[in-house]
């Protein structure tokens, strides 16, 4: 194993040694066969000949060595730009001579890192979904029930209360009823029961409707029928649509937005959210990185186009292989 680890360095050493040996042997042969001679001491007329010969030898050596080390330059460039959220950025393994094994090893290392990151992200997102489900159940079963009991108690109190307290009790009832509605909405956002019960189309429709009903952003939707998708794929589509629409409402300053779902060539499913807001979305924000991680889990591509002042377009492209397996 140790010998194998040193073999690329040994191969590179042999290549450079051979290159230098050939260059100097060629220079020696040219001097031996050419009519040029060197006196002792060296005459002034012979200095230009020696200088030209040395320059030619150095130039030939530099070109050959540079060509041999070119893969290292490409490897360094890839190291500087590599991002495990944007996968499949690899170096070509052919045409790299003795450094091919180094390139192959580096590509294999990136494969392992991407697999490990995807696995870690999957576990983290699964734990996140489980925690969201737990909080949603507690909100619905405990806080929701408590608010409902308080609301019913206030109704009985209002029915027996003096007339001068009726208006105040009704106001309190409305406040509790509004809080109950907010709790239910938060629970629905945390745990998309409509996705589990009615499917992706209904869940996306509910997202667009909920945002439109807030009055801040009018959302149009165009949702095509899609082939059956795996449960994790549907969840990623839903969560990215949810995060995108939430960002539209909170940060974009938009008045209109559009949610589309379509099937394109090769069976790819494309989810797109666009708005007419201020644009200039930061690619490295926590929300955007979270969407990239979710897309990576299902092998999808996430594209973000957000020029300053030109609105934002978020596109998620799911490969056609992400369909629900058939029995």
Asked if residue 231 belongs to a domain, the reply is: yes
Q: Mind listing the pLDDT tens digit for each residue in 101-129?
A: 777 888 888 888 877 777 777 777 777 77
Collect all residues with Cβ–Cβ distance below 8 Å to 90 and sequence separation of at least 6. Answer: 78, 107, 110
Q: Are residues 204 and 113 in the same domain?
A: no
Q: Are residues 88 and 211 in the same domain?
A: no
Q: Are residues 209 and 115 in the same domain?
A: no
Domain-terminating residue out of 63, 93, 119: 119
Domain-terminating residue out of 89, 104, 119: 119
Under 8 Å between Cβ of 289 and 273: no
Q: Mind listing the pLDDT tens digit for each residue in 75-102?
A: 777 777 776 666 566 777 665 555 677 7
Asked if residue 92 belongs to a domain, the reply is: yes
Asked if residue 217 belongs to a domain, the reply is: yes
Q: What CATH number has the domain bearing residue 281? A: 3.30.565.10
Instruction: Specify the number of domains making up the chain.
Output: 2
Q: Are residues 204 and 327 in the same domain?
A: yes
Question: pTM of whole model > 0.75?
Answer: no
Which string of b and e fits 164-194 if b means at least 16 CB within 10 Å? eeeeeeeebbeebeeebeebbeebbebbbeb
The range of the structural domain enclosing residue 278 comes to 199-327
Asked if residue 185 belongs to a domain, the reply is: no
Q: Mind listing the pLDDT tens digit for each residue in 3-25?
A: 444 455 566 666 677 777 777 77
Q: What does the alpha-carbon distance between residue 52 and residue 109 come to, in Å, rounded to a whole number? A: 46
């Amino acid at each position: 194993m140790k010998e194998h680890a040193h073999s690329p360095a040994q191969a590179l050493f042999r290549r450079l040694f051979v290159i230098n040996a050939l260059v100097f042997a060629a220079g020696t042969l040219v001097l031996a066969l050419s009519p040029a001679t060197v006196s002792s001491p060296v005459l002034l007329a012979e200095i230009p000949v020696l200088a030209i010969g040395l320059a030619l030898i150095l130039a030939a050596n530099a070109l050959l060595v540079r060509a041999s080390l070119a893969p290292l330059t490409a490897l360094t460039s890839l190291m500087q730009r590599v991002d495990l959220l944007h996968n499949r950025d690899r170096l070509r393994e052919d045409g790299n001579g003795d450094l091919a094994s180094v390139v192959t090893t580096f590509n294999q290392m990136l494969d392992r890192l991407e697999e490990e990151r995807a696995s870690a992200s999957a576990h983290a997102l699964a734990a996140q979904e489980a925690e969201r489900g737990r909080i949603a159940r507690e909100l619905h079963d405990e806080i929701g029930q408590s608010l409902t009991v308080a609301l019913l108690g206030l109704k009985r109190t209002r029915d027996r209360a003096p007339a001068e307290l009726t208006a105040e009790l009704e106001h309190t009832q409305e406040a509790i009823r509004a809080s109950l509605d907010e709790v239910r909405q938060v629970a629905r956002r945390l745990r998309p029961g409509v996705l589990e019960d009615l499917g992706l189309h209904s869940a996306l429709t509910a997202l667009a409707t909920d945002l439109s009903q807030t009055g801040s952003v009018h959302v149009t939707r165009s949702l095509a029928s899609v082939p059956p998708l795996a449960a994790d794929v549907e969840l990623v589509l839903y969560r990215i649509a949810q995060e995108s629409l939430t960002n539209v409402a909170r940060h974009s300053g938009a008045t209109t937005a559009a949610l589309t779902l379509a099937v394109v060539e090769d069976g790819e499913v494309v989810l797109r959210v666009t708005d007419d807001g201020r644009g200039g979305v930061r690619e490295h924000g926590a929300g955007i990185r979270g969407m990239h991680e979710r897309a990576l889990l299902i092998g999808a591509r996430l594209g973000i186009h957000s020029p300053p002042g030109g609105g934002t377009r978020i596109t998620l492209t799911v490969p056609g292989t992400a369909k629900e397996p058939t029995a």
